[in-house]
Amino acid sequence: MDRPATKRRTVRRKKKKKSGDFSKVLVAFIFLFLLAFTVIVLSIFAATGNEPSTLIMSVFGAATGELGYLGMIKNAKIKKE
């Protein structure tokens, strides 16, 4: 009896996750979002002459809060070690 050709099994090794990768990506995303938001708001202001101050305060407040929480989490992890 002939054996059928066996498939080669490849073993994939999991990449070791670096600590803090998600937070670095999130900080970069927030920075790019705020940059785009600023450009859009400035273009709206140039076109209409009205400034959406409540929207600006809300967006920058939420971004500051998110970055603050990320900083608190990182600080707690550093103290834990």
pLDDT tens, position by position, 36-56:
999 999 999 999 999 999 999
Residue 69 DSSP SS3: helix
Q: What is the pLDDT of residue 21?
A: 84
Q: What is the DSSP letter of 51?
A: -
- Total of domains in the chain: 1
| Domain-embedded: residue 46 | yes
Burial class (CB in 10 A: 0-12, 13-18, 19+), 34: middle
3-49 pLDDT, tens digit per residue, is: 666 666 666 766 666 666 888 999 999 999 999 999 999 999 999 99
Per-residue model confidence (pLDDT) at position 81:
81
d(CA 76, CA 81): 9
Q: Which residue has the tokens 């670095």?
A: 24
Containing structural domain, residue 31: 21-80
Report yes or no on 72 lying in a domain. Answer: yes
User: What global pTM score does this model have?
Assistant: 0.71
Token couple for 36: 């785009």
Is position 10 within any domain? Answer: no
